Amino acid sequence: MKSDYTELVKAKTREMLANSKHARWDAICNYSIRTAQLASDMHKLLRHCELNGFDHGASDALDYMESQLRQCFVETFGIEPFEQVRSK
């Protein structure tokens, strides 16, 4: 599933750049920055869970981070992240 998601991001990025090389570049950069920040936060949270156990608060935090990642993708590419992957 991860490789399908990665390929979708690459394809949508290529499509955006082909359609408008300059207007969408900021959106792609913002997407990269936001997803890197979320990945870092997720890594820290998972490390905390590894040391202290997984609790309800951690579960809520992961759900929130996942929703933020999905929102970031929709704002950047205009579709749900797995919409095209599921239709294959």
Is 88 within a domain?
A: no
Could you tell me if residue 55 is inside a domain?
yes
- The answer to whether the CB of 5 falls within 8 A of the CB of 84 is no
Q: If DSSP codes are grouped into helix, strand and coil, which group holds residue 20?
A: coil
Does a structural domain hold residue 33? yes
Give me the domain span that covers residue 33: 2-83
Residue 50 domain-assigned (yes or no): yes
Summarize pLDDT for 9-66 with one digit per residue, the tens: 777 777 776 766 555 677 777 888 888 888 888 888 888 888 888 888 888 888 888 8
pLDDT at 1 over 60: no
Number of structural domains the chain divides into: 1
What is residue 79's three-state secondary structure? Answer: coil
Structural domain includes residue 20: yes
Q: Which pTM was predicted?
A: 0.59
